[in-house]
Structures are given as structure tokens and as C-alpha cells.
Structure 1
Amino acid sequence: MKRSEWGSRVGFVLAAIGSAIGLGNIWRFPYLCYENGGGAFLIPYLVALFTAGIPLLILEFGVGHERIGSAPLAFRKIGKQWEWLGWWPLLFTMFGIVLYYSVVIAWCIDFLFYSVKLAWGADSEAFFFKQFLQVSSGPTEISTIRTPILFGLLAVWALTWVIIMRGVSKGVELANMIFMPLLFVLTLVLVFWSLNLEGSMTGIVAYLKPDFSKLMDPKVWVSAYGQIFFTLSLGFGIMITYASYMPEKSNMTGSALITALVNSGFSLISGFGVFSILGFMATTQNVPVDEVVKESIGLAFIVYPKAISMIGDFGPMFGMLFFLSLTVAGVSSAISIVEAFASGLEDKFSINRKMLATLLCFLGFTGGVIFTTNGGLFWLDIVDHFINNYGLVLAGILECIVVGWFFNLDQIRKHLNKVSKIQLGPWWNWIIKLFLPLSLSVILLNQLIRELTTAYGGYTWASLIGIGWSWIVITFLVAFILAAQPWRTENHLEKGRGDEL
């Protein structure tokens, strides 16, 4: 079966950037930078980018392009016994990350409309938790589905269905050719607008003022490596799939470098917009910046709405632009997860693309309903924590070990050097074989020690095991079940592009 292909290298790079850039670039990176030494944090961040992020992204591009397959097919071609490793990340991203991620995008869509009349009123925090989410007392208390969120979720999956159904070049590529330039324009407009607000420089100073003493704290370095790993969609199986759609003569190493640098540059620039707004709020309320800073969801749905109300006549327009940019960033990442899983099923079972898109989007929508309930915020928090901190990191470690030690890694490197302008030396092999597994293991062990010392988020152990750990274990077992199924296509018998080298 002939594989789909990107229409152009630009389309591929924009799709890879679209997968990498998500909500975390806008609301997670600026806060991490602020918390971990401001401008000084850029030192461990850039070290992590060049010693871990880019080498691992190059590996995933190389595996997908050289083995010519989605993650399950690529690992099957590495060795029959490793096919499950291709399925496992796809399973916990498709039936984990994208389920709650699409609900957060639904929140963004709802707030886009709320921005028109500043529906959150004077108390954005009470509006978000009590009126909008109607948060219950814990993850076991699930009594109502929030209708506005459900309709937003339906819109997200309907759009995803249209894009995935149209295939790679006419669907995913075309969507990213529209979404990415739109996102960059929206972000630049918001940043320049924010920089002109009163007190914006107070926020910028708080964002980037270097505290070099923080560099002595190992946690800062762990945070930098963790952020690089998560922000580039590494360990998801997405970049392997996307690279497999590239023609034989393609500059893969250069594409990886562009993807990583644009993603990190976008994070840095977004931070200027975020902290300009925080500086404006601090100045207007005559309080220090640290009193208005919030992390993650609180930043987007509590602090920003409050700031939008303070801007004046142009507040609604600013709010609509902000939540539209979050929606675009979210959707581009969500479609990459669904596409990666669809590609794996297509490669193995030769299922009709339209039927596959319909089935996956239906399952995605119904699976996401639990996160639209009044207990959904707790479920989101637990599932996100376990998949990101354990599933993805462990998948990354195993990926490096399997390709580095149980396959001819030099074959991947020689293939990449053959098709790319930037040449990789033997140093790259050792980063993949030793440095990355060790650094990711430090992140994993650091998290595990904290987990065993104190129950995450103050949740009961029953909730953490029943929701978090079970999500990891069940997807792990299903990966082996899928790998054990017979191939309905001949794809797994084809050679890799580097087999003749």
C-alpha cells in the first residue's frame, strides 16, 4: 500500500511545528521561566534543547523516515518484538492526552464567546470554578455534565473529523498551512498590543530578570529538560509518523532543527505577551507581579479574563484574539495525535480512512465526556500528571534504548546524513545511547520519589491508582494486544531506506 505524502517540505515542517506548539507554550513556559531564575533559566533551557530536544527529535524523524512507517510499523521493522512500543504512546495519547486536551480547547472556544460581553464579570475566579466548571468536591463526585463545555467539545471533534478524514496532504497539511501562520500573526498582534499597555515593562523585568543562583538548584535543570521533552511532542509517536510521509530526498535533520527552534522561539515570544499583561495588572492594582502570577489553567482562564476586563473598550477584542490563538494552538496539536494513531491503524489493518476518522473522532468525543463533568477538572489533573510524567518519559527512555542498543543506530545516522545538509557525527549516537536515557531517567526517578513521599495533589491513593496508574497500565496491556494481531497489509515486510546503505 503506497503511503500518503506531504505536498511540500514546508507543509511537513508546519505540521511538525503545529504538533509541537500547544497550550503549554503559551501558559507553561513563561511561568517556568519566571519560577526558575528568569533570564538565567534560558541557560539550562538552551542546554537541554541542544543536548536532548533536538537530538531526540532528529532520532524520531530519522526512525520514521528511514523505516518508512508510523510508530508501530517503524518499531515492527526494527524488530517484531518491539511493535508494542510503537502502539503504547499512541494509545495513551489518543485515549488519554487528546481526550482531556480537547476539553481544554472546548473551554477556549467557550471563553472566546464569553469575551464578547466579558461574561465572567468582576470575579473571574469564581466564574471559572463555580459557574463555568461547577467544580465538585473531588474526582469521585460526578453528577452533572456541563452543557457549554459539551457543545464546545463537539465542535473540536467535528473540526478534527473533517481534517483527519481528508487525509495527509488535503487535511492535516492544509489545516496547518492555515493554522500556523494564523497563530503566529495572532500571537504577534497580542504581544505588541500587550507591550504597549501601562506597566508592561514591570512584567517583562519579572519574566526575564536573571537570578543566576537558581542555576545551582538541580530541580531547575530537571525542569528545563522536562519542558524541552514535553514541548516538542517527543515520545508521542507523532514525529515518527509525520516523518514517514516525507519523500526519500528530504532534509530531515534541517527540518528537525527548524521545528525545535521555532517552537522554542514561539514559547519565548509568548512569554513577553503573558508577562506584559501581568505587569499591566500589577501596575493597575498597585501590587507586586508575584501577586498576580498564576500557573497553567489559572493563567489562561482566571488571570487573563480579569486583565481583559481591565483593558477597557478594546478588552473584548483582545480576549477574542487571545482565546482564538489558544484554540488554534490546541487544535493543531490535537489533530497530530489523532493522525498518528490513525496512521498506525491504517498501516496495520488497511482500514478505510473516512471510516477510521469517524470511529476515532466518535471515540474521542465520547471518551472526553468524563472531563466535561463537574468532577472533570480532577480527572484532567490526574490523567495529565501520570501520562506526562510517567508514560511519555518512559516511552522516550525505551525508544532510545531500543533504537540505540537493539538496532543499528549508525544506519539511521548514515541515512540522515545522506538526505540532510547538516551532518551528524558519532557524538549523536552516544547522546541517544547514553545521555538521553540517563537524563530522562533522572526526571522519572525525581518524579517517582516525590510521588511516593507525598500523594500527588493531595488526592487519595485510591483516586491516583484508580485513575492515573490504571490509565498507564491498561494502555500498556492494550499495546501488546494490538501488536499480537496479524498484519492485514504487507507494509511490515518492506525494507527501510537505509538497508541498502
Structure 2
Amino acid sequence: MLIFGGLPLFFMELALGQYHRNGCLTVWKRICPMLKGIGYAICIIDLYMAMYYNTILAWSVYYLVASFRSELPWTTCDNEWNTANCTLTANVHNATDKSLTVSPAQEFFNKEVLEVDKSSGLGDLGPVKGSLALCLFSVFILVYFSLWKGVKSTGKAVWVTALMPYVVLIILLVRGVTLPGATNGILYYLTPRFQMLDKPKVWVDAATQIFFSLGPGFGTLLALASYNKFNNNCYRDAILTSSINCLTSFLAGFVIFSVLGYMAHVQSKPISELGQEGPGLVFTVYPEAIATMTGSVFWSIIFFLMLITLGLDSTFGGLEAMITGLCDEYPKLFGRHREIFVLFLLVFIYVCALPTTTYGGMHIVNLLNVFGTGNPILFIVFVEATAVCWFYGAERFADDIEKMLGFRPGRFWIACWKYISPTFIFVLFVCSFAFNDGSDSLNLPGWGVVLGWALTCSSIVCIPLYIMYMFIVTSGSFRERIKTMIKPEDFVPPHLSQVNSYGTHV
């Protein structure tokens, strides 16, 4: 998925943003005007992502604050939120019925942080939990002061949020590999299971991981590349950045599975029984392992600091994509007073995100993750590749890259843009509908499934709606309208970076 999907599209978006110097809305007027709905779809996806992703960061803030005490609160079963089933990690293998045992880390996450037991499901969310709402507010404060001045302020923040996780990862890796059982965990991580390749879900998950990790389809690359100098070597940037990205993920796997091997050793159970996806791994399994280590408070603090800095990088990118797109498309309305616009936008997103801080907020987070961003992003990327390589033209796009870089992309890139990547992604999108809608794993009621697909369609529908809108407002015969709708806008690219002091385009 990296070679034939992620990397070609990563390079494509970098080149598009750098050449046309616009965000996710305005750039499509210069590529294929009738597909400007792609930009609006991207803004909606980024909005959904900001609503739930910052809440996950708020959970990390909650854990970070809870870690500043002499003993981690999920170390014992003596707290007011613990139940009779709470069993310390070291005593799990002595329990008569292991299926009834619950670790203190799991009860801390479910009964103290989320208090999800006070909600019966998506239809009974309960009130907003004040402490989580306060943690979420602190996240938005950090985000605002990193985004309000544009790429210049974001760039300064990224020096910390991008470099600090590497320091922490290396520290955690050194600690992890010295734990008993770590070798078994690493071997489990590195041993392939080829029989899993016949499952469509594995391919869809791989594509989603690559797109979430590299960022094509979210508008982030378009937005950030639009501030590059015209002759910047975006080809080198694409190769280098995507390689570092995937190597970082590979390194993080050693950090995670060395600790999982240690947990399996302590609990005397197979590693496969420990593995959990998503929040369960980050907020239950890993904190449980940290609690058994010497100096657990220190390890907990640096682990959750790492999570927060990693998450802030991602939320910076998604929000900057939306902000740049709207400021470029509506400069008089939003671009002149960026600080005020960003303030009102973040206040709006914070209010929309408050339901995720209720007792049943976890259900909304899962719904937005699966239906709001996971499924539609594949379709958005497919339409992007089609717009660039079939309406605008792969050869014309290659000419644009040659003007910037002085050399023409090879046949591999053009073949991927025209045939391989769109076909691959479209098949995966169909599979995501047919085999992996996510409703079974989320235990949604019937109306919840309908709500989920409404979230998916709310972004995708922007594309056909804008096509219909443009067809109506365009004058001429049917053939003349279609010709106007697909004709790229005449454009002479600037050869100097034109960015004002607010980080918006001139």
C-alpha cells in the first residue's frame, strides 16, 4: 500500500500544492473545476477528525495529569472505582476464572477516565464529564496558539512535537528490550502470517493506516506544500518523508511488542491474548505494563507526553488543511483576519466535540473514526487521482513537475497515478463497504448504522452535489457546459514564495 498507493499519492499532492500554491478548495478550479467538491469533502472529513482525535488527546492529558503522584492510580485495586473483579497483573494466572478478571488499568480507563459504565450505548450518552471537557479545552488552547499565525507559528511548534517523540521512543525501546519476555514479543511482531492476506479487512486496514500516516486525502499535504518555494525538490521530500514515516512506525512496533512480550511473561499467557486494537492498546495494555516497572511514574509521564506531541502534529496538519483551504477560497471573509477566524473555528469544533466527553463519548469517537474518516478517505483519494490524471492529464501534470524540478517523473509514477493507484484504491473502497463497514465491531443499533453511513455520505456527497451545482450555474448547451466544467483554469505559476506575515497566500 505504501509503494503503489501511499507514496505515489503523497508525491502527487506535494507537487499539486507546490505548483498551484493553493489549498484543498481553490486548487481544484485549476485542475478540474467541476470536482471542487473534493475540497469541501476534505474539509468535512478534517472536521470529523478534529472532533474525535482531539478527544483522544484529551484522554492522554488526563493520564498525564494522573501520573504526577507518588503511585500511579491504576497500580492497585484499592480505589473507589475498582470492582470485586479487579485483579493485579501478577495474580491473573492464579485466578480461578480468568474470564472474570479485570486489570486495574482497564478499570481506570473505563470507570474513572471515561466512566463508560454510566452509559448504556449510543442512545444514552449521559452528561458531559467536566474533567474530560477541561482536558479537551487545554488541547484546543495548545492547538490555537500553534495555528493562529499560520505556518510560521506551526513550524515553531513542530520543532518540539516532531522531535520529542523520537527521543521518547528510543528511551522506551531501550527500557522495553531489557524486560523479561521482550524477545518473545519482538519475535511475535516480526513473524509474518501470510494466511491473513486473503482477508479484505487486512488490505483496507493497511490502506487506511498508510493514508492516516502519510496524509494523502486529508488536504494536509496540499496545504503545507503550497507554502514551499516553487523550485523546492518535492520529489526528494516525498521519498525521504514517507521513508522516515514508515521506519518510525516500524520502530514503534518494537517499543510496543517488547512490552507486550513482557506482559505475556508476567501473566503467563500467549501474546495473542493481550493484543488490543486502538485505545485498548494505548490506554489499557501499555499503562498496565508501565505500572509493573520500576520507576513507573517516570515511564508513564514520558509515554503520555509522547502521545500528546504525536497527536498534536496530526491535528495541526488536519486543521491547517481546512484553514488554508477556506482562507484561499474566501480571502476577504477569512484570510484577512486569520487569528479571529481560527479562534471561531476552534470554538465551533470544541462545542461539536463536547458530546465525545460524555459518559458514552467513546461510542461517538468510534463512530467518527470508522464512518466519518475511515471509509470516505479512500473514495476521496480515488477521485483525486482520477481528477489529476484523467481530467487534467498525467502528461500535463508531469510537465508541471518538470517546470518545478527540472526533470520529468518516470514511467513508474505516471503508471501509478493513471492506473495502479486508482484501481487499487477503488477496489479497497468497495471492499470497505462490502466486508468492513465496522457496524459489527461497534455493536451499533439499527439507527446507529444508518447514522454511521450518513456520516460517510455527508462528505462523499459533496462531490456529486457540486457537479450538479456547477452544471446548473454554467451557461450553454449540454456539451458546452461539460467542456467548461472539466477545462482547467489558465494558470501561470509564481517562481517566488508569496506568503504574507500571517502565513496565508497573497
Shorter-chain TM-score: which interval? 0.7 to 0.9
For residue 230 of structure 1, give the secondary structure of its aligned residue in structure 2.
helix
* Residue number in structure 2 paired with 1:63: 16
Q: In the aligned structure 1, how far is the partner of 2:140 from the partner of 2:439?
A: 37
Larger Rg: 2
User: Does the CA-based 8 Å contact 2:137-2:350 persist in structure 1?
Assistant: yes
User: What is the rounded CA distance, in whole Å, between the counterparts of 2:393 and 2:277 in structure 1?
Assistant: 43
Letter aligned with residue 470 of structure 1: A
Alpha-carbon contact 1:58-1:256 (below 8 Å) kept: yes
Contact 2:230–2:494, Cα closer than 8 Å, also in 1: no
Moved more, 269-278 or 388-397: 388-397
**1:74 match:** 27
For the residue of structure 2 that corresponds to 1:441, the secondary structure is: helix
Is the Cα–Cα contact under 8 Å of residues 5 and 425 in structure 2 kept in the other structure?
Answer: no
Aligned to 1:416: 401
**Structure number with higher helix proportion:** 1
Match of 2:320 in 1: 339
Q: Does structure 2 conserve the Cα–Cα contact (< 8 Å) formed by 1:70 and 1:241?
A: yes
Instruction: Compute the displacement of 1:330 (Å).
Output: 0.4
* Equivalent residue number for residue 168 of structure 2: 186
* 1:110 equivalent in structure 2: 62
In structure 1, C-alpha distance between the alignment counterparts of 2:178 and 2:50, rounded to whole Å: 36
Give a deviation string over 1:210-265, Cα, whole Å, max 9, x none. 33454565654444334323321121111111111101110011101111111101
Cα distance in 1 for residues equivalent to 2:266 and 2:274: 11
Match of 1:288 in 2: 270
Pick from 417, 435, 444 the counterpart of residue 432 of structure 1. 417
Match of 1:54 in 2: 7
What is residue 207 of structure 1 aligned with on the other side?
189
Change over 3 Å in CA distance of 1:175–1:482 after alignment to 2? farther
Post-superposition offset of 1:445: 1.4
1:258 aligns with 2:254: no
CA contact under 8 A between 2:223 and 2:321: conserved in structure 1?
Answer: yes
User: Alpha-carbon deviations, 1:12-55, whole Å to 9, x = none?
Assistant: xxxxxxxxxxxxxxxxxxxxxxxxxxxxxxxxxxxx21121110
Partner of 1:91: 44
Aligned Cα root-mean-square deviation (Å): 2.5
Q: 1:186 to 1:166 in 2, by over 3 A?
A: same
Classify 1:148/1:109 alpha carbon distance in 2 versus 1 (closer, same or farther; 3 Å): same
Asked if 1:119 is matched to 2:73, the reply is yes
- Give per-residue Cα distances to partners, 1:258-317, cap 9 Å, x unaligned: 1111110110000111011111111122222122222210011111111111003x1111
Q: Which residue of 2 aligns with 1:474?
A: 458
Hey, what does 2:124 align to over in structure 1? 141
Q: What is the alpha-carbon distance in structure 2 between the residues aligned to residue 81 and residue 144 of structure 1?
A: 43
Q: Is the counterpart of residue 197 in structure 1 residue 179 in structure 2?
A: yes
CA distance in 2 between counterparts of 1:248 and 1:428 reads 20
Rounded Cα–Cα distance in structure 2 between residues aligned with 1:391 and 1:102? 20
CA distance in 2, matches of 1:144, 1:193: 40
Pair 1:74–1:89, CA change in 2 (3 A): same
SS in 1 for 2:243: helix
- Whole-angstrom distance in 1 between the partners of 2:149 and 2:19: 25
Asked if the contact 1:114–1:120 (Cα under 8 Å) also holds between the matched residues in 2, the reply is no
Is the 2:201–2:432 Cα contact (8 Å) retained in structure 1? no
| SS at structure 1 position matched to 2:389 | helix
Q: Provide TM-score, normalisation by structure 2.
A: 0.82
Residues of 2 paired with 1:143 and 1:213: CA distance? Answer: 43
Whether 1:444 aligns to 2:450 is no
Aligned-partner Cα distance in 2 for 1:228–1:216: 19
Cα distance in structure 1, aligned partners of 2:242 and 2:468: 31
Q: What is aligned with 2:213? A: 231
1:24 aligns to what?
Answer: none
CA contact (8 A) 1:121 1:127 kept: no
Q: Tell me: CA distance 1:456–1:193, structure 2 relative to 1, closer, same or farther (3 Å).
A: closer
Structure 1 match to 2:501: none
Residue 375 (str. 1) matches residue 360 (str. 2)? yes
Over 3 Å counting, the alpha-carbon distance change for 1:284 and 1:464 in structure 2 is: same
- Per-residue deviation at 1:477? 5.6
The one-letter code of the counterpart of 2:280 is G
Matching residue of 1:37: none
Work out the CA distance in 1 between the residues paired with 2:466 and 2:404: 36
* Mapped contact 2:53–2:315 kept (Cα < 8 A): yes
Partner of 1:298: 280
Check 1:197–1:422 CA distance in 2 against 1; reply closer, same or farther (3 A cut): farther
Does the residue aligned with 2:311 lie in a helix, a strand or coil? helix
**Does the aligned pair in 2 maintain the 1:172–1:335 contact within 8 Å?**
yes
1:406 partner SS: helix
SS of equivalent to 1:407: helix
How many percent identity over aligned positions? 26
Matched with 1:317 is 298
Could you tell me which residue of structure 2 aligns to residue 100 of structure 1? 52
Q: Does 1:150 align with 2:150?
A: no
Counterpart Cα distance in 2 of 1:341 and 1:160: 14
- 1:70-98 per-residue CA deviation (whole Å, 9 max, x = no partner) reads 0101111113222221121122212x011
* Letter aligned with residue 331 of structure 1: L
Judging changes above 3 Å, is the alpha-carbon distance between structure 1 residues 267 and 357 closer, same or farther for their aligned structure 2 residues?
Answer: same
1:329 aligns with: 310
Could you tell me which runs of 5 or more consecutive residues in structure 2 were left unpaired when the two chains were aligned: 77-103, 474-487, 496-506
Deviations 1:313-352 (A, max 9, x none): x111101111110000001110111111111111122221
Q: CA deviation at 1:422?
A: 7.4
Answer whether contact 1:254 1:421 (CA < 8 A) is retained: no
Deviations 1:382-441 (A, max 9, x none): 111013332101101110111111102222223324434875213322211221121111
2:315 is the counterpart of 1:363: no
**Contact 1:400-1:432 at 8 Å conserved across structures:** yes
CA separation of 1:493 and 1:440: change in aligned 2, threshold 3 A: closer
- The separation in 1 between residues aligned to 2:406 and 2:189, in whole angstroms, is 37
Q: TM-score, normalised by structure 1?
A: 0.83
CA contact (8 A) 1:254 1:420 kept: no
Distance 1:454 1:484, change over 3 A: closer
Residue type at the aligned position of 2:142: L
**Alpha-carbon distance in 2 for matches of 1:443, 1:288:** 32
